[in-house]
Structure 1
Amino acid sequence: MAEASFAGGQTTEASNPVVDIGDVMQKMAEHKGCGTEGGSGKASCGSSAGPADMPPEIWEKVKNHPCYSEEAHHHYARMHVAVAPACNIQCNYCNRKYDCANESRPGVVSERLTPEQASKKVLAVASTIPQMTVLGIAGPGDPLANPQKTFETFRLISEVAPDIKLCLSTNGLALPDWVDEIAKYKVDHVTITINMVDPEVGQHIYPWVFWQNKRLQGYEAAKILTERQMLGLEMLTERGILAKINSVMIPGINDKHLVEVNKAVKSRGAFLHNIMPLISAPEHGTVFGLNGQRGPTAQELKALQDECEGDMNMMRHCRQCRADAVGLLGEDRSAEFTTDKIMEMEVEYDSEGRKAYQQAVEAERQAKVAAKADELDGLEKAGDIKLLIAVATKGHGIINEHFG
């Protein structure tokens, strides 16, 4: 029998004599404002904001959530459990796949789990990766189209691992019906995918929705969907539940319209807006992919994000994860925790050990923040520095990729 340990965790040494060129370049970008991946240099940094930029109770919710805090995603991990196979809408950019290890995108999973299997998997991952702080249910269908499985999973996990944050991602159609249940289980992070607030636009994205035991199509379907999404968002805001809005940028269909989406969700209290590029490769088998609908260029995506940025927090570090992702953003360790492997593991959930480990991670994080502040101070004294340097990275702030 294998025994779970902290072997999969990251090191937490707070001092390192080697200069990290990635950090240096980040400071130089930040010298004029907030330079992050794809950042615009504005003073308001959205998901990269720190404790001085928000109320303490909000900071406590987001400081170690890798999706809600850009800085946290370098230090803390998340996992998704695939307990929700059914979906109540059809999106032209989605094709849910089972047992597909070669695709990394939303809606794809290798294994579907029961709530009991999911609970065991969460304990196994949390015991092996002590910096895993967040458990999300994101599919492969819609969690709220599978409410019994979703909330039974949350119930089991909250009983055995109350220190883990719970979150879910939904299309929002059924959200108003389940907001009270979401609050009951202290799920304080909810992501809603909102691609339009105008049914004229929405009818080109959603072929149908299944609502009140009827399949609705076209304009009528999109109208019901956007009304339910807006109502659900307002209800979350009233209960103090943080809402992140995901929007898929589809050139020629909703790219210009997403500015209106941004205004609508901001006015209803959304905490964060994540505009993602359409994934439209034909081999994925989606309607848009098979019809030749292109995705946005990096320049188009950044221009739209910049246009929407202001008082609204913008997420720019999304990796468009699988519905069974495990690990830091940008990595996937789900193959280490297949059902057959976790069933052989003897898991002892050490909440105090996890707490101590995360305190060490936080100490390292704060040490880096202090070091960055010192470097920025040095840059201010040195005056403007004008350099043009090209580097390549696979992520995590490390230069580890070559050109060509």
Structure 2
Amino acid sequence: MAKSYQELTQNHPCFARGQKSNKGRIHLPVSPGCNIACKFCDRQINDYEDRPGVASEVISPEEALEAVGRAIAINPDIHVAGIAGPGDTLATDFALKTFRLIKDKFPDLIKCMSTNGLMLPDRADEIIDVGVDSLTVTVNAVDPKIQAQLNSAVVYHGKRYTGEEAAKILIHNQLEGIRKVAASGTSVKVNTVLVPEINKDHIETIAKTVSEAGAKIYNIIPLIPQAELAWCSAPTCHDIERAKATAIKYIDVFMHCSRCRADAVGVPGGIDISKLVYLKVLNTKQTFSHG
């Protein structure tokens, strides 16, 4: 049975309310590929960028299990095993296989997964069965016209869709999946990348919609202008605070996201011990395909 939302607020740094948690997490970079083409995404394999979508290497589920053991030995404050990339966790089978291994060997760890939600309705039963405690879904719009400006394509059941057609599929699957997973008792967090030129005035609608679908907490992530959205501006502090103030009318809002790498290890905001945990380090530049 998934851990309660109350327990997550005490032991999961991404669910802590109002102040930084002293609980640590390990991000396991086991998911190599993606099935959607976000216009702001620049997925990389390197050891020098500090942002989502980046890892020093992609490892196997078995290597991930060994990494968890090393991390806990170095830092007993590790309470969360999370998988957030560098690709999408449901685009391949590696994330769910990793969680099955963790469930058997480290049953007390909180299991945390992030996904774009495209495959969520198809794989919700597996997520529930493996005992994922917290699921994060990135929902950048619930209006296809807006979503199409943020995502150029999805690959769903082997077929590529573009534009508003792709956006409609993605939004439908995200909301259906959130409803299904939330109904099981699993806590759902929603991330939204705030792009001032595109979805700044859409935050209230997103927050209200995902809350009604069953999401428990909402996280607003400032855009890093890059890739196809390099022409956009990073949101100002005022933009972010305004968005949070709008969203909090409908849902708890996460106040201190540090935009972690897909292989981050340690207490957010503290010393990262990933170099000690992941023994093989690559220093190459390689962009992942979105499928």
With structure 1 as the length reference, what TM-score do the two structures score? 0.67
Match of 2:253 in 1: 314
Aligned pair 1:162/2:84, yes or no? Answer: no
CA offsets 1:150-193 (integer angstroms, 9 cap, x no match): 12111111111111110100000001111111111111200000
CA contact (8 A) 1:80 1:137 kept: yes
Tell me what 1:13 maps to: none
Query: Are the aligned partners of 2:141 and 2:171 in contact in 1 as well (CA < 8 Å)?
Result: yes
Residue 113 (structure 1) shift: 0.3
**Amino-acid identity (%):** 38
Q: Which has the higher contact order (CA 8 A, sep 6+)?
A: 2
**SS at the partner of 1:236?**
helix
Q: Does 1:336 align with 2:276?
A: yes
1:96 is matched with 43
- Alpha-carbon distance between aligned partners in 2 of 1:86 and 1:299, rounded to the nearest angstrom: 35
- Partner secondary structure for residue 111 of structure 2: strand
**Residue type at the aligned position of 1:337:** V
After the TM superposition, which residues 117-136 of structure 1 pair with which residues of structure 2 at under 5 Å, given as runs? 117-136=63-82
Q: Is the 8 A contact 1:233 1:268 kept in 2?
A: yes
Which range is displaced more, 239-248 or 179-188?
A: 179-188
Q: Tell me the residue number matched to 1:59.
A: 6
Matched, 1:297 2:236: yes
State the Cα distance separating 1:58 from its structure 2 match.
Answer: 2.9
The CA distance in 2 between the partners of 1:102 and 1:70, in whole Å, is 30
**How many residues in Structure 1 have an aligned counterpart in Structure 2?**
278
Amino acid in the other structure paired with 2:278: T
For residues 45-83 of structure 1, what are the alpha-carbon distances to aligned partners after superposition, in whole Å with 9 as ceiling and x for unaligned?
xxxxxxxxxxx9431233111111146743100110000
Match in the other structure for 2:130: 185
Secondary structure at 1:135's aligned position in 2? strand
Q: Distance between the aligned counterparts of 2:198 and 2:165, measured in 1?
A: 18
Gaps of 5+ in 1: 1-55, 342-404
Q: Is the 8 A contact 2:34 2:87 kept in 1?
A: yes
What amino acid does structure 2 have at the position aligned with 1:61? L
Instruction: Flag structure 2 segments of 5+ consecutive residues without an equivalent.
Output: 282-291
Task: Give the SS at the match of 1:154.
Answer: helix
**Is the Cα–Cα contact under 8 Å of residues 179 and 214 in structure 2 kept in the other structure?**
yes
CA contact (8 A) 2:182 2:188 kept: yes
Question: Which letter does structure 2 place at the counterpart of 1:302?
Answer: E
Structure 2 CA distance for aligned equivalents of residues 74 and 277 of structure 1: 21
Amino acid aligned to 1:118: A
Structure having the higher strand fraction is 2
2:266 is equivalent to residue 327 of structure 1: yes
CA RMSD of aligned residues (A): 1.5
Q: What secondary structure is seen at the aligned counterpart in 1 of 2:121?
A: helix
TM-score (structure 2 length as normaliser): 0.92
Give the conservation status (yes or no) of the 8 Å contact 2:9–2:17. Answer: no
Letter in 2 for 1:69: A
